[in-house]
Structure 1
Amino acid sequence: MHRHFAPAVYLLAPQRNGTLYVGVTSDLITRVHQHRHGLVSGFTREYGVKLLVWFEMHATMAAAIQREKRVKKWNRAWKLELIEGTNPDWRDLYESLSFAPLK
């Protein structure tokens, strides 16, 4: 299974400690690209939430959806701990997937 086409739960932010968005997708690369380029109407476009700061791959979409629902219910401090546990510098992880940084 190619990691980019596996179900994933992800967190986006506009910058360090900014507004957080939790999402789930079956295609992380395409979905984050849509957020980054304002192709998704609603919350992420309105608030400029474009940086991929955390993601977690899952074997099934059912497992990913279950995890997304759990993370969405978490308080902000827990979400920040989740991000900083693997991404303490709040790097844009989309760039680590071989894509150019936002300008």
Structure 2
Amino acid sequence: MKKPFIFGAALLAAGALAWWGWTQFQKKGEAQSYREAKVRRGDLEVKVLATGLVEPENRLELKPPIAGRVESILVQEGQAVKKGQVLAWLSSSE
């Protein structure tokens, strides 16, 4: 009764050892390929092509103290602006 059990356990251990050895041999056969690149500074351009609705994070409604017409717009759409920068010239009838 003990002999078949010992024989089965030994056969299972031998199979496990053979499987482990085979997997280790296969790993050594695979060649790792690397590509070298020099580090450099530069702008990273990322484009997203998608359909959807874009909403601004911050929105500001301008209400000048006098009524008037916009004579000249000094910035382009999408351009970054700074605090205190003149965005447009207004002309008033007053």
User: Shorter-normalised TM-score: what interval?
Assistant: under 0.3
TM-score by length of 2: 0.18
Larger Rg: 2
Higher helix share: 1
Higher strand share: 1
TM-score by length of 1: 0.17
Higher relative contact order (CA 8 A, sep 6+): 1
